[in-house]
């Protein structure tokens, strides 16, 4: 970048600004399963980032357990 300006840096920051989401399942204080991954979307606000993280966490919980456990 020869003539980088503040506007270029702001755009670049927005492109790479992704959160990571993770979870750990424990049984008797022993980790039995865990996952961490970078969010596939770039959030434009912290509220949107938190909402996206909660959706991914809920998705992880529902995939980790069989449905008959919740009935």
Rounded to whole angstroms, the Cα distance separating 23 from 69 reads 20
* Spatial separation of the C-alpha atoms in residues 38 and 53, rounded to whole Å: 10
pLDDT at 42: 67
pLDDT at 9 over 60: no
pLDDT at residue 11, as a whole number: 56
Question: What are the pLDDT digits (tens) for 15-71?
Answer: 455 566 677 778 888 877 777 777 666 667 777 777 777 777 777 777 766 666 556
The whole-number pLDDT of residue 29 equals 81
């Amino acid at each position: 970048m020869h003539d980088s300006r503040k506007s270029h840096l702001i755009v670049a920051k927005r492109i790479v600004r992704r959160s990571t989401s993770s979870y750990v399942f424990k049984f008797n204080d022993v980790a039995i399963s865990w996952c961490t991954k970078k969010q596939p979307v770039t959030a434009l606000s912290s509220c949107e980032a938190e909402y996206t993280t909660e959706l991914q966490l809920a998705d992880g919980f529902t995939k980790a357990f069989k449905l008959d456990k919740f009935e």
